[in-house]
């Protein structure tokens, strides 16, 4: 592949998505390496970053999305929308959240175009940690109880339950499915709101850690079908936080379980951008975030951190910038050869899938990342 000499930062096109993939400080780091940065006009507005801030850092402001997408490398926040598919091409390197197992149309567009596509969410360390997913998991996890509390209010369709209750009145019961970054942050914030919190996970060591940190303030349960059924039936708010790195989230709450929930109770499925872990879930947007099914309010916004784009942009770019700089400065092949975490981040190249989890979800084969890059 040709050396990367320019990077484009287009404005996000997903509904009500205000995050941006690069801050002015990030621009300065690219410029220091001799790589020019082209930012679409208004790309940072949602995150309270002005065009003049980017210019002061050394970026060029370009008037259209096409101008930003025309560069050697494009960095984004969310997967390309259908309107952006025509910008995909074989000599383009793309680095963004992709969630291809949940968005097969995006996967097909990338493969058809032959784009070299890195996904933030599948960059994985030897420890199993997902360093570029973690910051948005933390933000989404902290947002989930807030959203749940909002929609539990009677004026927003809920049962009229206050998270923290009142003296002599039981607080809301919040059930969190999964004790990873999303789930633990959700449980922590819900407990801080004085709710009664139940956290379920299959990993007993993780539950022991939560117990040690919270000293019984959060009730932990080993996750199995029976425990989930009983917990769901008693919940005022259910938060879905189940993750399979690079793959589709498993469905752990069936439609029959949803039917047992109290009328006006609320589900917030943070895993919806990976297909969702609740059988009755389908993706919504910030402008139309909820729907009702079986008397239960479902909140299923696929880009939850986009609700707080200023905080989310800085949390995200603090984590992504070093990896994006590696790919841009070394080129995809050298970056993947030198950093196994980035090898797992490569999802597609030259029309081939390069991550096993994505290939499994799509029902297709895959190539080793280094083999795929060397072959082109």
What is the tens place of the pLDDT at every residue in 123-163? 999 999 999 999 999 999 999 999 999 999 999 999 999 99
pLDDT tier at 105 (50, 70, 90 boundaries)? very high
What pLDDT does residue 361 have? 85
The token pair at 318 is 């603090």
Which residue would you say has higher pLDDT here, 131 or 216? 131
What pLDDT does residue 248 have? 85
Q: Residue ranges per domain, the chain?
A: 6-130+315-375, 134-307
Contacts of 231 (CB under 8 A, 6+ apart): 175, 198, 200, 221
Percent of the chain beyond pLDDT 70? 100
Please give the full DSSP string across 26-54, using - where no structure is assigned. Answer: HHHHHHHTT-EEEEETTTTGGGT--HHHH
What pLDDT does residue 102 have? 85
Contacts of 230 (CB under 8 A, 6+ apart): none
d(CA 354, CA 348): 5
What pLDDT does residue 246 have? 72
Q: Is the pLDDT of residue 1 over 90?
A: no
Q: Is the pLDDT of residue 245 over 80?
A: no
d(CA 366, CA 376): 15
pLDDT tier at 2 (50, 70, 90 boundaries)? confident
The token pair at 53 is 């801030």
Query: What are the start-end ranges of the E strands in the chain?
Result: 6-9, 36-40, 60-62, 73-75, 93-96, 116-119, 173-177, 196-201, 219-222, 237-240, 266-269, 290-293, 296-299, 346-349, 352-353
Please check whether residue 273 is in contact with residue 300, taking contact to mean a CB–CB distance below 8 angstroms.
no
**Longest pairwise C-alpha distance within the chain:** 69
The token pair at 273 is 């951008």
Fold equal for 6-130+315-375 and 134-307: yes
User: Which option is the CATH number for 6-130+315-375: 3.10.400.10, 3.40.50.720, 3.10.110.10, 2.60.40.10?
Assistant: 3.40.50.720
Instruction: Classify the C-alpha dihedral 24-30-32-34 as positive or negative.
Output: negative
Taking Cα atoms as reference points, which of 288, 292, 270, 265 lies closest to residue 280? Answer: 292
Percent of the chain beyond pLDDT 90? 92
User: What's the pTM value of the predicted model, to 2 decimals?
Assistant: 0.88
d(CA 93, CA 71): 9
Domain 134-307 has CATH 3.40.50.720: yes
Average pLDDT over all residues of the chain: 96
The token pair at 25 is 């400080």
**Strand partners for 46:** none
What pLDDT does residue 27 have? 98
Active site amino acids: 99, 273
What is the tens place of the pLDDT at every residue in 353-363? 999 989 998 89
Q: Is the pLDDT of residue 320 over 90?
A: yes
Taking Cα atoms as reference points, which of 324, 317, 361, 318 lies closest to residue 341? Answer: 324
pLDDT tier at 216 (50, 70, 90 boundaries)? confident
């Amino acid at each position: 592949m040709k050396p990367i000499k320019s990077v484009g930062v287009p404005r996000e096109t997903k509904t009500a998505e205000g995050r941006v993939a690069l801050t002015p400080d990030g621009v300065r780091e690219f410029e220091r390496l001799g790589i020019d940065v082209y930012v679409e006009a208004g790309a940072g507005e949602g995150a309270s970053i002005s065009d003049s801030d980017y210019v002061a850092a050394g970026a060029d402001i370009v008037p259209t999305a096409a101008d930003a997408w025309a560069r050697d490398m494009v960095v984004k926040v969310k997967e390309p929308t259908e309107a952006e598919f025509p910008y995909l091409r074989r000599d383009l390197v793309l680095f963004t959240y992709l969630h291809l197992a949940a968005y097969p149309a995006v996967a097909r567009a990338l493969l058809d175009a032959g784009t070299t596509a890195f996904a933030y969410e599948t960059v994985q360390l030897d420890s199993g940690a997902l360093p570029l997913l973690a910051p948005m998991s933390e933000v989404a996890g902290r947002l989930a109880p807030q959203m749940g509390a909002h929609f539990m209010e009677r004026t927003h369709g809920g049962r009229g339950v206050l998270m923290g209750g009142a003296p002599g009145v039981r607080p809301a019961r919040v059930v969190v499915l999964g004790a990873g970054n999303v789930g633990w942050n959700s449980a922590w914030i819900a407990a801080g709101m004085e709710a009664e919190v139940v956290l379920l996970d299959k990993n007993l060591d993780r539950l022991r850690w939560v117990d040690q940190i919270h000293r019984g303030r959060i009730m932990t349960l080993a996750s199995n079908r029976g425990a989930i059924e009983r917990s769901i039936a008693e919940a005022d708010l259910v938060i879905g936080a189940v993750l399979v790195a690079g793959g589709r989230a498993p469905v752990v709450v069936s439609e029959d379980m949803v039917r047992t929930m109290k009328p006006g109770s609320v589900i917030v499925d943070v895993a919806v951008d990976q297909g969702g872990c609740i059988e009755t879930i389908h993706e919504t947007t910030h402008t139309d975030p909820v729907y009702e099914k079986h008397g239960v309010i479902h909140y299923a916004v696929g880009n939850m951190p986009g609700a707080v784009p200023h905080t989310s942009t800085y949390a995200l770019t603090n984590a992504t910038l070093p990896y994006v700089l590696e790919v841009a400065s070394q080129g995809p092949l050298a970056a993947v050869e030198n950093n196994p975490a980035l090898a797992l981040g490569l999802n597609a190249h030259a029309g081939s899938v390069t991550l096993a989890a994505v290939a499994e979800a799509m029902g297709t084969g895959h190539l080793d990342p280094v083999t795929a890059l060397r072959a082109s």
